[in-house]
Amino acid sequence: MLLVRCPWCGDRDEAEFRYGGQADVDYPADPHQLDDATWGEYLFVRANPSGSFDERWVHTAGCRRWFSVVRDTATNEMRPDIPRRRESR
């Protein structure tokens, strides 16, 4: 059971959340410019590291907000530091 830190509600049981996969996968700026391979990659391919992973969670049974965390996929350790990209949002 993971203990997930919602930035608004604090540490909560994983069962309150839904998982959203890799963070910072932006919709292509100009989809018409993409060839099939790049489009396929955007749709289907995500990073799958053993180690540090920036990922999305949504606090479905709480404040219902989305947020990003950094989790080590080999140990499940979650770092409280806020991923880089959130600051620019």
List residues near Zn ion by CB under 5 A: 6, 8-9, 59, 62-63
Q: Is 54 in the site for another protein (CB under 8 A)?
A: no
From 9, 11, 19, 60, residue interacting with another protein (rule: CB under 8 A): 19
Q: Which two tokens stand for residue 41?
A: 């990659």
For residue 80, give the nearest of 2, 28, 1, 7 by alpha carbon: 7
From 10, 28, 31, 40, residue interacting with another protein (rule: CB under 8 A): 40
Q: Contact residues for another protein (CB under 8 A)?
A: 1-2, 13-15, 18-19, 21, 36-37, 40-41, 43-46, 48-50, 53, 55, 71, 73-76
